[in-house]
Structure 1
Amino acid sequence: MHIARTLFFALTLLFFACKTEKKEQTDPEEQAALPNIVIIYADDLGYGELGAYGATELKTPNLDHLANNGMRFTNGYATSATCTPSRYALLTGSYPWRNKSAKILPGTAPLIIDTAQTTLPKVLKQQGYTTGIVGKWHLGLGSGHVDWNQAISPGPNEVGFDHSYIMAATQDRVPTVYIENGKVDNLDPNDPIQIDYQKNFPGEPTGKDNPELLKMKWHHGHDNSIVNGISRIGFMKGGEAAKWVDEDMADTFLAEAKRFVKEKKDQPFFLYYALQQPHVPRTPHPRFVGSSGMGPRGDVIVEADWCVGEFIKTLEEEGLLENTLIVFSSDNGPVVNDGYYDDSVEKLGNHKPAGPLRGGKYSLFEAGTRVPFITYWKGKITPGTSDAMVSQVDLLASLAALVNSDATTQDSQDLLDVLLGKSTNGRNELIIEASTRTAFRKGDWAMIPPYDGPAIIKTVNIEIGNDPEYQLYNLKEDLGQQNNLAKSHPEKLAEMKAAYTKIRGIAEE
């Protein structure tokens, strides 16, 4: 009996040893077959800003190249008409209205992604990817009061990113410093950073009180601490050596994105490259000043296009382009004057940032969330245009399918074949959001429920969709949403209301 038992255990150990050895031999091959994944995310870029989407006044050759040699989506959506909620949905695969904290955040907000939550970088890490984020974060940092002079946690590294080089919030908010893997870059410990969003620090100049120190005048909401001659939202003291130079920001983030690619090129990588353009303050590098003829807003779009071109060039030089899936989109629709006097209105000319769409950033009309949406994979995606409805919330499930993961979430749908141009069966319905208000897309129809409040935000001159009555539009016949069919199509309105309530009701249970 003892001999038999010993023989059984010996054979069992041999069996598992063979299986382990076989797995170790095949894993590198499986990893090598995985494509690199890059998401390039613009900030406030509208549906009509690129030549490939109908722009005639701006030159965007590099983004047009991606669109014309990849799959250009005409029904591609962010989930929200503002930044933080869209970024939350992209990384978590969850509608932002399910999280009450997913709204435009101050620079001192705590992290709004639960560290136990499923995220896109976590899913890819589990499949052997090295993951990185470069650029704008704006999803909160820490768990309460942040000491910017110590290691900052939790943040991107705690929700799935191996490497992070970010700004905490937006270019117009303090702190105006870069943060690498939880630590402020180039911080002098003898000049500690202090941040406050309620009151100023004694003796510190502000845009409101010291307009003579400004190189860019504020228009609304940006009259606090002055950094590099630009007044911001919030108050900051100290950290002089760590403060960014606004005009160098695009170059800084591009260099970091290129460095990540070069260092991680020998293994599958995922890079979330979050551009800061064309969000305010628009501060093009001197190389791009005057390049668009449309003032700083146009110039930073040209600059962003150049950055994308230089990044693609790096992939090509490193021999990675044929094995890299690139997704390009924007976090929400466009806004022209968003807080500074920068000639964005005066020099707009014939350019239409929203293209044929109504509304813009902050809006429940189509221009708030329908944005450029491009997938590019050299040699794998046949160039074309798709009218399929796709949303950034679907990237988690779709990219999980690409890397043979079964990860998904309640809201994210596997649309991999659609993104690769192999299918036209996109989403049938989608809830969009703007400043906690929600609306509904289903098929060719859009429905906006009644909302109180002003119909237009006058400071930015954007219609946001508020109306005391239901609004119903047939987008196939009325893309500009000029004809409200709610009263003339009561059956369709009832159908839309029922479908919308069914989805929203999940969050209320």
Structure 2
Amino acid sequence: MNLHNFRTFQFLLLLLASTVNGQGVPPHKEKPNIVLFFIDDLGYGDLSVNGALGYLTPNLDKMAMEGTRFTNFMAAQAVCSASRAALLSGCYPNRLGISGAYGPESKVGLNPEEETIAEVVKKRGYATAIFGKWHLGSRKEFLPLQQGFDEFYGVPYSHDMWPGHPNQAHAQYPPLFWIEGNEKADAIATLSDASALTPNITERAVGFIRKNKSNPFFLYIPHPLPHVPLAASARFRGKSSRGIFGDVLMEIDWSVGQIMQELKAQGLDENTLVIFTSDNGPWLNYGDHAGSTGGFREGKGSSFEGGQRVPCIMRWPGVVPAGRVNNQLMAAMDILPTIASLTGAALPTKKIDGISMAGLIKGEEAISPRKNFLYYYRRNNLEAVRQGDWKLVFEHAGRSYEGQLPGKDGMPGPAPENHLFPKALYHLTRDPGERYDVLEQNPDIVKELEALAEEARTDLGDDLQKRKGKNVRPIGRVE
């Protein structure tokens, strides 16, 4: 082929690509695929890239090298249902009337009138699926197919809410089942059954990618583990020097690797944003069956950093800078508006609390759009507020793991719920472990943060002060 013919051939190939794609861009480039991992009770220190010992998470470490690790990422609350509601709705969970972790017989859930990430992107033609743990209401009215998802295979609530948990015999929980769509499927009756959680979810996720390789999709993978009780498949059981917890983390890392591998196999890797994060910090009183906060104070069920600061990695080749660490403040509520911005989707019609971080994740890192964060817990207790790196903790009674002997081999140790924490001010740059109260030295800062708290109480309420918020919406409820 001479030079003239070769250039003509190149031109025809480009013309063909332009004709196929309509605008001369790679397929769906204006509609990136979204894969969102949301891991249960994973602590800040539970990835080897963040310092975990006794096992390795090579796929996540690789994801961090090829993407950006966000070190100041906050779960909305340090408990299951509330945290998941915030992620999917873009709202503080108490704005939706949601708190705590719903049990099997709960008659409440995420109100179907709220718009989830799935509903937001569905209007842009996205296929949507969730494979994993839902925990936003187990009644049919609240299940994922009623919240914008095309497919659901997973568990309706935490898998410790079942008869087989060694510490839950008194609770008389009903049997736990996989849910397929809106219907019960196979029972999860034993720890052996639970060992299929991660591989089954991974297999479904891989199948969904293959099925939807020709159209944009939102794939939500909320893995139920490493929430107790811990279980790993035979392939990973006994493989780490950290015991069953390390085995479980190795299998979750394998799951991430399988998804990344499938994206590459289907030619979707460079047009897919993958987000990996956690719902809250580790359940520390489970001892060797719990993870690590990486040095932050307290853990799950606490408004200190160990309860709410969680790992976050994002990867999108050519868009999210590779090998970067970003220390700007972000929160789980910011995921929805960020995805909306990246996909060209409209925001929910009702007020949300999230802020788009699209610029930040693309590398515009000088200033974070998020300046403030509210630490609510229990039903609607405002326990702390943050502005920049200053955090004001209000006097409150709460869970504490400190000074308690942790449990072992799947049995929990004590974690008193009524430890009295005094009012205190911390500077999280100098003191991320929240050990040195500098309240008396900074009266002006305290005054500013108290004004922020007053705005929050007016808007969202505060049970500690017996105040109702002006802008709290009704929770979903069935009679």
TM-score (norm 1): 0.77
Secondary structure at 1:153's aligned position in 2?
helix
Contact 1:102 1:112 in 2 (8 A): no
Identify the residue that residue 425 of structure 2 maps to in structure 1: 472
Unaligned runs of 5+ in 1: 1-23, 143-151, 175-205, 208-216, 225-231, 346-351
What secondary structure is seen at the aligned counterpart in 2 of 1:242? strand
Choose 101-110 or 69-78, whichever is displaced more. 101-110
Matched with 2:312 is 373
The alpha-carbon distance between structure 1 residues 464 and 111, as it changes in their structure 2 partners (threshold 3 A), is closer
Task: Name the % identity.
Answer: 32
Give aligned pairs, total: 419
Match of 2:8 in 1: none
CA radius of gyration, larger in: 1
The whole-number CA distance in structure 2 between the counterparts of 1:141 and 1:442 is 36
**Which residue in 2 is equivalent to 1:405?**
345
1:500 matched to which residue of 2? 453
Structure 1 residue 57, shift from structure 2 partner:
3.1
In structure 2, relative to structure 1, the CA distance for the partners of 1:320 and 1:83 (3 Å cut) is same
* Aligned with 1:66 (options 58, 63, 68): 63
Give secondary structure in 2 for the equivalent of 1:452.
Answer: strand
Aligned-residue offset at 1:461: 5.5
Q: Select which of 323, 328, 332 maps to 1:392.
A: 332
1:433-472 maps to which residues of 2 (within 5 A)?
433-436=376-379, 437-438=381-382, 439-452=384-397, 455-456=400-401, 460=413, 467=420, 469-472=422-425
In the other structure, the counterpart of 1:168 is 156
Give the root-mean-square deviation of aligned CA atoms: 2.7
Partner-residue secondary structure (3-state), 1:85: helix
Deviation at 1:32, TM superposition (A): 5.4
Is contact 1:387–1:424 with CA below 8 Å preserved after alignment?
Answer: no
What CA distance in whole angstroms lies between the structure 2 residues aligned with 1:67 and 1:461? 35
Instruction: Please give the alpha-carbon distance, in whole angstroms, between the structure 1 residues aligned to 2:217 and 2:292.
Output: 33
User: Matched residue of 1:385: which SS?
Assistant: strand
Runs of 4+ in 1 over 4 A off after TM superposition: 28-32, 237-241, 453-466
Please give the alpha-carbon distance, in whole angstroms, between the structure 2 residues aligned to 1:238 and 1:414.
Answer: 37
CA contact (8 A) 1:455 1:466 kept: yes
1:81 aligns with 78
**Are residue 279 (structure 1) and residue 221 (structure 2) matched?**
no
- Give the superposition deviation at 1:238: 10
Structure 2 unaligned regions, length at least 5: 1-20, 179-183, 405-411, 461-468, 471-479
Change in Cα spacing, 1:133 to 1:71, as seen in structure 2 (3 Å) is same
Equivalents in 2 of 1:473, 1:248: separation in Å? 43
Deviation string for 1:68-97 (max 9, x for gaps)?
211101101111111111100000011012
SS in 2 for 1:37: strand
1:191-340 counterparts in 2 under 5 A? 218=166, 220=167, 222-223=168-169, 234-236=173-175, 242-244=186-188, 245-338=193-286
1:388 partner SS: coil
Deviation at 1:462, TM superposition (A): 5.7
Q: Which residue identity does 1:223 align to in structure 2?
A: A
Q: Deviations over 1:377-423 (max 9, x none)?
A: 12322120101111110111111111123415430111111122233
Measure the CA separation in 2 of the matches of 1:435 and 1:401.
Answer: 32
Q: Which moved more, 1:310-319 or 1:467-476?
A: 467-476
Is the counterpart of residue 488 in structure 1 residue 432 in structure 2? Answer: no
Deviation sequence 1:273-294 (CA, Å, 0-9, x none): 1111211110111111122212
Q: 1:376 to 1:32 in 2, by over 3 A?
A: closer
CA deviation after TM superposition for structure 1 residue 157, in Å: 1.0
Q: In 2 relative to 1, CA 465–92 (structure 1 residues): closer, same or farther, beyond 3 Å? A: farther
